[in-house]
Chains A and B, each alone.
Chain A
Amino acid sequence: MVEAKPEAVKTQGLFKRFGAQIAVAGVDLLVPRGSFAGLVGPNGAGKTTTLSMVTGLQRPDGGLIEINGHNVWRDPVKVKSRIGVLPEGLRLFERLSGRELLLYNGELRGIPRDEVARRADELLRVMDLVESQDKLVVDYSTGMRKKIGLAAALLHNPDVLFLDEPFEGVDPVSANTLVDVLQRYTSSGSTVVFSSHVMDLVERLCDWVSVMSRGSIVAQGPIDSIRNGRSLNEAFLDLVGVRGGGEEGLSWLGSSSA
């Protein structure tokens, strides 16, 4: 690794509109290699659309996307085998069991069957899913679905992992498992990009943050430079430019009033 390594993720002027609404208005996302990166922003900021375009699931209307220096849309062969994806909404093959889902994913990516089975067994054990490995995914709880989704995304040992709201609706125990696995993964030099609006979690896990608002990046860089002495939550609210007043009204609420 003598030469300058290209960034893990780099987009330039990424643009997408749905009808009259502009969802992503020229995003220049930058994620250095080996970082644990958080993509934060309020609902509707364009995080999901950006991640779908970066992972090749949604066609951008304009702009450039490179992963490890390879263009996602012009060179999918080089990109797709090196990335893992967990999109929003827990959309999985519902009528396969957790184990079958992993085997399907592995074989789809051309990994030999024995190797897939070995990796699947290990992943199921680490994710604490051994007991429910033969149950259908349709019967899984939210936490179990996130864990099996992450296992499927990790199975082919990708360089870059994209996770859309991986901790939403997950119980603390499963969240802890997810965090453990992800930290182990990044400590070996791989890159994680995940979207979230849980600031505490981003602050605790990430070393790189990109803040999105209304379809563009309003700040990005190492987490300490974004925080600049404040808590990430305060920094985020300042950057996004919304400070709500919760003091007025609701005078009847609480036990002090009649």
Chain B
Amino acid sequence: MVGLFVRLKLRLISGNLRGDTVKQVGFVLTSLIALACAAGGFALFALLRLASPDIASNVAIVAFTVFTIGWILVPLLAFGLDETLDPSRLALFPLTARQMAAGLFAASATGPWPLASLVALAGAVAGLASGAGGVLIGVLAVLLQFALCLVASRAVTTALSATLRSRRGRDALAVGAVLVIVLFQLPGLLANRGLSGDPAALLDSLASALRWAPPGMAAHAIADGGLAGLGELAVVAATVAVLTWLWIAALRRSLVTPDSSNQSGGAVRRSRLGGLLPQGMVGAVVAKELKYARREPRGRIAWLMPIVVTGVLTFSLRGPDGWEGPLLAIGPACFAAVMIGVQAANSFGIDGRSLWMNAVAFSTERDVRTDFAGRQLAVAIIAVPLLLVLSVAASLIMGRPAWIAPAVFTAWGVLGVGLGVGAVTSVLVPYTLPERINAFSGAAPGQGGEAFLGSMAAMLGAGLLALPVMLPVFLGLTWASVLAVPYGLLAAWGGRRLGGVIGHNRLPEIVAAVSRPT
């Protein structure tokens, strides 16, 4: 059974590569990177021998824990990469849950990345172990740690596989992925803020907390190399056993639970605010765009990112060697406005394959222009209050309430310019946004160039057009920010006029460009 699953995994890998040069090159590159990671990881662990024993064991404890977390999170975020991961595909075969667990375990140990992890982890033996007994315990500890990673990852994906296959689960996961990325920024931010000046002390406090979790114990056991180490290994082995038992239980349940991914979700509430919107095309587009910002994971992420980035920026600018003057308050808000504007650079991307519905209804330049007006209004309905809040927050954090007005006026103006430029790039370089869980790949296969060109053009165009209002404000003439809002309105109007003319002539091409298979 184990051999069969390993062969299945190898065959899936090779079958995926057959006849596709891009994928083959990609696989070779991935393997090379995995090899480099294996060698690098091994070398880094081995180098711990040069550090003092305390620091060495602390680093190993933290590294083992990060490894385990990585093993749990990465397959979750990349679910679907590995067809052997999904137990429901195997449900029809006459296998017991135990047989299947053994097979799936073997399959998940096969491949470039698991092997790279094993090699890297083995470096810990080279870096920490002392004496023959230490090496023996070390080898055991590394194998147990590897098993722990595999089993923990398997148990979590199996338990969540039903959720991951449902539409709601995938929606939640896409937003969760952003939060994970943000979490990874936190340590850097904290370090940047100087919460703990001494990295060694930080490492020590982190390691002393993680020391008693199973991965920490495995790492500590290698360094210890004695009876205490053996005891710790027993705990790790028990953890692996418990996780395996949980995994088999989850597997057994998932094999007999019907696939719920096709069951329909709940109903949505009818909007009561819809009646406030103007009748006709503008109101319809605004209502649709606002619903998409709320219900579509890519829409939610698009609005989450400027908030997060501005928050990070505000905190990291504030420091002894940060910027000076009003720029501190105006900068973050303007940056958020630019980010929101850049998202408007491919307005039709989120509509994607459904854009034909607009295309069969639009017969004049005015129709396309009105569509843009609706989209701009929808963005403004969210962004105008958002930028106000961000400006107030940034100014108050800096302790300068007087900067609120210039900050918010400039940001609103920049937003207008961004929307205007976005209307033009949306019709000139439209591209398909991928619908996969991974919310970070920018465009459908083969359209990376368009995506890059579109965002660059939008950023450069918006930057140049916004200079007349931003420059005087940045140079200290804060009263000039009053002019930013009418200037932004003018730019948005001009952009949607131009976008309407070009867009009307290019409608079939735009529909084709945003409807690529992903």
Contacts and interface: CB of A to CB of B under 8 A. Distances in A.
Interface in B294-351: 295-296, 351
Nearest to B374: A108
Contact of B268 (A57, A87, A136): A136
A229 B264 CA distance: 47
B283 interface: yes
Contacts of B351: 93
A107 B280 contact: yes
Nearest to A97: B268
Nearest to A105: B357
Given A95-B295, A138-B167, A141-B264, 15 more contacts: A56-B360, A57-B356, A57-B359, A59-B508, A79-B363, A81-B363, A93-B288, A104-B288, A105-B361, A107-B281, A108-B284, A132-B264, A132-B267, A134-B269, A139-B167
B288 A96 contact: yes
Interface stretch (B223-231, B398-406, B509-517): B509-517
A134 B264 contact: no
Contacts of B269: 134
B358 A91 contact: no
B356 A87 contact: yes
28 contacts: A56-B360, A56-B508, A57-B508, A77-B363, A77-B364, A80-B360, A80-B361, A80-B362, A87-B356, A91-B353, A92-B354, A92-B357, A93-B288, A95-B291, A95-B292, A97-B267, A100-B288, A104-B287, A104-B288, A104-B357, A108-B281, A109-B361, A113-B279, A134-B268, A135-B265, A135-B268, A138-B265, A141-B264
Interface string B430-442: 0000000000000
B272 interface: no
A216 interface: no
Interface in A75-92: 76-77, 79-81, 83, 85, 87, 89, 91-92
Contacts, number: 101
Contact of B508 (A58, A100, A138): A58
A210 interface: no
Given A89-B353, A110-B281, A132-B264, A76 B363 contact: yes
A154 B280 CA distance: 18
Contacts of A59: 508-509
A99 B274 CA distance: 13
B266 interface: yes
Contacts of A132: 264, 267
A83 B360 contact: yes
A213 B515 CA distance: 26
B354 A94 contact: yes
Among B265, B268, B360: residue with most chain A CB under 10 A: B360
Contacts of B284: 103-104, 107-108
B270 interface: yes
Among B357, B364, B509: residue with most chain A CB under 10 A: B357
Nearest to B515: A91
What band does the interface of chain B fall in when counting residues whose beta carbon is under 8 Å from A? 35 or more
Interface of A: 55-59, 76-77, 79-81, 83, 85, 87, 89, 91-97, 99-100, 103-105, 107-110, 112-113, 132, 134-136, 138-141, 152
A135 B267 contact: yes
Contacts of A93: 288, 351, 354, 357
B235 to A, nearest CB: 45
A222 to B, nearest CB: 29
Nearest to A109: B361
Contacts of A110: 280-281
Among A85, A100, A141: residue with most chain B CB under 10 A: A100
A87 B266 CA distance: 27
A152 B268 CA distance: 19
B267 A85 contact: no
A85 B361 CA distance: 10
A251 B281 CA distance: 63
Nearest to B274: A103
A55 B360 contact: yes
A139 B508 contact: no
Nearest to A87: B356
Contact of B291 (A92, A100, A113, A135): A100
Q: Identify the 10 closest CB pairs spanning chains A and B, nearest first.
A: A107-B284, A134-B267, A91-B353, A139-B264, A76-B363, A95-B295, A80-B363, A77-B363, A139-B265, A93-B354
